[in-house]
Amino acid sequence: MLQQYNPKNENIKVWVGDRLFDRHEAKVSVFDSIVQGGDGVWEGLRVYDNHVFCLDKHLERLEYSAKALAFDHIPERDYIKKAIFETLKANRMFNETHIRLTLTRGEKVTSGMDPRLNSKGSNLIVLAEWKPLVYDNKNGIRVITSAIQRNSPRHLDSKIHHNNLLNNILAKVQANFAGVDAAIMLDTQGFVSELNDTNLFMVHKNVIYTPHADACLPGITRGLVIEVAKASGIDIIEKNLTVNEFYNADEVFCTGTMGELTPLHEIDGRPVENKTGSNLRSLIHEKIHEKIYELGEKIS
């Protein structure tokens, strides 16, 4: 699925640093660490009917990532919430909105890799856009397995949600050339890690399986699926899984804030065949939707 430009976003206001700018004035310095080395952390959030979904969980992950990268002057959580709410209110965005929240290490005194060149503290960007769910959850998506692996903690820990996304982008490039929607990335041992942009689940004989969060991002939607399944008495197991097991699953779906729960209907040319008539994906999807307000924070 190729996202389209939405003219409704032409005149949006974007938070950069400590205030709002018009879309075409919203910029970072060429000395910013994000330009110099992709040295930033980020979150993708969604707004549902006046509420920001799982806001604290996202901000906690952002804080953990920034601490792992040893950022200076990480803004207080209340300050980030204020920046998000002000951005949404200025744009009158109370639903159908996606927020790309970025915290860069900030501006450097001269170009270079060394974080000691950063004397101004981190730089906060709140980019809120009108955006429907990115994937087609009714018809599902097709994927291939990429030759590009997901990083192991030995290389770059996938638990840090950083802006060095080039291995995921290379996997997506492969998917584009193959004419499919996304690419499965394996871990360094050859087990399935996740898609290039979302986490993966499969259902086989009424049990849900998902890879350990060793080489994938421990997604917030992934966490909710596990929580809701357990609370509903559905068997769910985290284990090492091969692509072969995914080929033979009854249901396969991916999860992420940008698309919620999306069915996969083809993997490497093999159709996903629901031999048992499983409806576990849609059941869990509905249960998560029932919690939208409980898990959301009201825009204030």
Q: What per-residue string of b and e applies to 78-115 under the rule 16 or more CB within 10 Å gives b?
A: eebbebbbbbbeebebeebbbbbbbbbbbbbeeeeeeb
User: Is residue 200 part of the contact set for ligand PLP (CB under 6 A)?
Assistant: no
| Residue 75 touching ligand PLP (CB under 6 A) | no
Regarding 198 and contact with ligand PLP (CB under 6 A), the answer is: yes
87 vs 168, which CB is nearer to ligand PLP? 168
Is residue 256 involved in binding ligand PLP (CB under 6 A)? yes
CA 207 and chain centroid, separation = 25
Measured from the CB atom, the residue of 60 and 72 that comes closer to ligand PLP is 60
Strand partners, 148: none
Query: Following DSSP, what letter does each residue of 243-279 receive, concatenated?
Result: HHHHHT-SEEEEEETTTEEEEEEEETTEEP--TT---
Tell me if 197 contacts ligand PLP by CB under 6 A.
yes
The answer to whether residues 217 and 211 touch, using CB atoms and an 8 Å cutoff, is no
Contacts of 206 (CB under 8 A, 6+ apart): 234, 235, 276, 278, 280
Q: Which of 32, 187, 194, 250 binds ligand PLP (CB under 6 A)?
A: 194
Please say whether the beta carbons of 259 and 221 come within 8 A.
no
With contacts defined by CB under 6 A, name the span among 92-100, 127-135, 215-223, 287-295 that binds ligand PLP: 215-223
Q: Which is nearer to ligand PLP, 108 or 229 (CB)?
A: 229
List 87, 97, 168, 174, residue binding ligand PLP (CB under 6 A): 168
CB of 119 to ligand PLP, least distance (A): 30
SS3 call for 104:
strand
Using Cβ positions, the residue closest to ligand PLP within the complex turns out to be: 219
Nearer to ligand PLP, 101 or 203 (CB): 101
Interface with ligand PLP includes 257 (CB under 6 A)?
yes
Q: What are the φ/ψ torsions at residue 79 (nearest 5 degrees)? A: -65, -40
Residue type, 89: K
Q: By CB under 6 A, which span of 5-13, 64-72, 78-86, 254-262 interacts with ligand PLP?
A: 254-262
What number of chain residues touch ligand PLP (CB under 6 A)? Answer: 14
CB environment 230-245: b (16+ within 10 A), e (fewer): eeeebebeeeebeeeb
Determine which residue in the list 220, 234, 241, 249 makes contact with ligand PLP, applying CB under 6 A. 220
Candidate residues 219, 253, 278, 296; the one interacting with ligand PLP per rule CB under 6 A:
219
Residues that bind ligand PLP (CB under 6 A): 44, 168, 194, 197-199, 217, 219-222, 255-257
